[in-house]
Amino acid sequence: MNIDQNTKATFYQYRLLKKALFPKPLIVSLLVLPLICLIAEIISLGPFSILTFIVAAPIALWIQFVICRSVIIIVSHSYRPKWHFSWRMPWFGYIPVQYISYSTYKKAHLHYIWIGFALIAVLSPWSPTSLIVSLFFWHLWLLFPRLYSFIVLFGQRKDGMLKLTDQELSYYIQ
């Protein structure tokens, strides 16, 4: 390697402050929870709730995508492809790919929490009850791993960086 290239390289040194693993029973319960909710909806609201339960899942994902992406663009003043859709548990949905600042992650998901609930509330007068219940469920289901990460990182410094992998959450500081 050329000496000139070494002098121009940027090296980041992060120190791990907290690492949280998602226990297998938690992931299994997250996978079983939609089935339990669907059965409860069928019993209480009728067989039409099967269709609304299936339709509500992509709507909740789309709401999460739009809100999180909009907040990221507003906060960072640009959109670089640091986020993608994850189809693996527990991070199902729109998540960061690389290291992301904890403040950006927190802003994006806190906005998703309250704007998502507000959109569901706005839709409630004109939508069937089964759709509103399903949207509410999927919204909370997508939020659960993010809320778990907020609980795990409660009391940590706010200027750190997050790294999300398949089964864990790592919190670093520079």
Delimit the domains of the chain by residue range. Answer: 19-173
Contact, 116 vs 139, CB < 8 A?
yes
Mapped onto helix, strand or coil, the DSSP state of residue 87 is: coil
Which are the contacts of 48, defined by CB distance < 8 A and separation ≥ 6?
128, 130
Q: What is the rounded CA–CA span in Å between residue 58 and residue 104?
A: 24
What integer is the mean pLDDT of 87-104? 83
Quote the pLDDT of residue 7. 55
Cis upstream peptide for 34 (omega within 30°): no
Helix axes 48-76, 102-123, angle to 10 degrees: 140
Quote the pLDDT of residue 40. 93
The tens digit of pLDDT for each residue in 52-81 reads 999 999 999 999 888 888 888 887 766 666
Quote the pLDDT of residue 106. 86
What are the CA-CA distances from residue 5 to residues 8, 13, 110, 137 (Å)? 5, 19, 41, 52
DSSP character at residue 20:
E
The token pair at 99 is 């290291």
pTM for this entry: 0.84
The token pair at 81 is 């492809």
Assign 122 a pLDDT band (cuts: 50, 70, 90).
Answer: very high
Beta bridge partners of 71: none
DSSP character at residue 95:
E
Instruction: Determine the length of the chain.
Output: 174
DSSP character at residue 126:
T
